[in-house]
Chains A and B, each alone.
Chain A
Amino acid sequence: MEERGSGMEINKYQAEDSVNNNIIMTTVDKMLDFCRSNSLWPVTFGLACCAIEMMAAGGARYDLSRFGFEVFRPSPRQADLMIVAGTVTDKMAPLVKRLYDQMPEPKYVIAMGSCAISGGAFVDSYSVLRGVDKIIPVDVFIPGCPPRPEALIDGFLKLRDKLRGQKAQEVKKDA
């Protein structure tokens, strides 16, 4: 380092120290993933009783906003997460697909409850889709009938870990 005035002078070791303490080295991708994982905006979309638990999770008692997930958007264009909360009927399925297609990339899906996972209690019915993963790709499955708000929050956190680039295997191990 070139000498200028006596007051400005720092040596090499001091410079390294100051870099390590004040500058975080990362990639733009990782930075964006980190930001995104802390502000997932779900689309306001409930199909059955699971939606009641989802509303409870959004309310003050369970307080989803602690993690930055509470901004339920009324339009799929503004959302990057779809919580399929409830029974998907054959008649509703094309509309679920359309809403998903209208969301901008990158987008994620949580299948909440037995019905969204596999059809649940209505698996033998004439009118119910046997699992929402037949029409849209699902990132996180939350079992339960309905899952408690804690379970939904846990699902959100699993998705957050997934976005931060943990290997899928590791996410699964935590579950």
Chain B
Amino acid sequence: MLNTSELLERLNKDFDGSLALTEDSQAVSVNKVEIIKLLQLLKEKHGFEMLLDITSAEYNDRLEVVYHLMNLENAGVLRVKTGLSKQSPSVASSIPVWKAADVMEREIFDLMGIVFEGHGNLKRILCPEDFEGHPLRKDFKPDIIERF
């Protein structure tokens, strides 16, 4: 299993100690302005070459985007989390690092309403194009008006 605290120490040399582990000590938490720098570093210097998934979660005070990375050398899986404000959630797109982020970011935009800046083709992917709202947000109320 991946030694996250040891990895965090190595990472913090490049981040002036601004990174932290999450409560369960399994994931790295990072400020959203440094997310691309961190992902790039993890990919190029620490062997996390593969982007497994991007997910998101909603908490009472914030939204979170979670990146799941995999090191193909030792099969270690690392999660990187970054918190966003609920009012206007936005984070830089990770397409420059991984092309595979394209559809995952579109899905998160569609269902959670998080804007990925610099994505280039950020439109709905699952819901119909004329759909209003972002259905997986907790304040979403299903539209009971029949569409047909």
Contacts and interface: CB of A to CB of B under 8 A. Distances in A.
Interface of A: 90-91, 93, 124-127, 129-130, 134-135
B75 to A, nearest CB: 34
B148 A135 contact: yes
B140 A126 contact: yes
Contact of A93 (B126, B142, B143, B148): B148
A124 B127 CA distance: 16
A126 B128 CA distance: 11
A130 B146 contact: yes
Residues of B in contact with A, size category: 10 to 19
A91 B148 contact: no
Contacts of A124: 142
Contacts of B128: 90-91
A126 B135 contact: yes
Contacts of A91: 126-128
> DSSP majority for the A interface?
loop
Contacts of A93: 147-148
B135 A127 contact: yes
A126 B127 CA distance: 9
Contacts of B147: 90, 93, 129
Contact of B143 (A126, A129, A135): A126
A90 B132 CA distance: 13
Nearest to B133: A126
Given A126-B142, A129-B148, 7 more contacts: A90-B147, A90-B148, A91-B126, A93-B147, A125-B142, A129-B147, A135-B148
Contacts of A90: 128, 147-148
B101 to A, nearest CB: 23
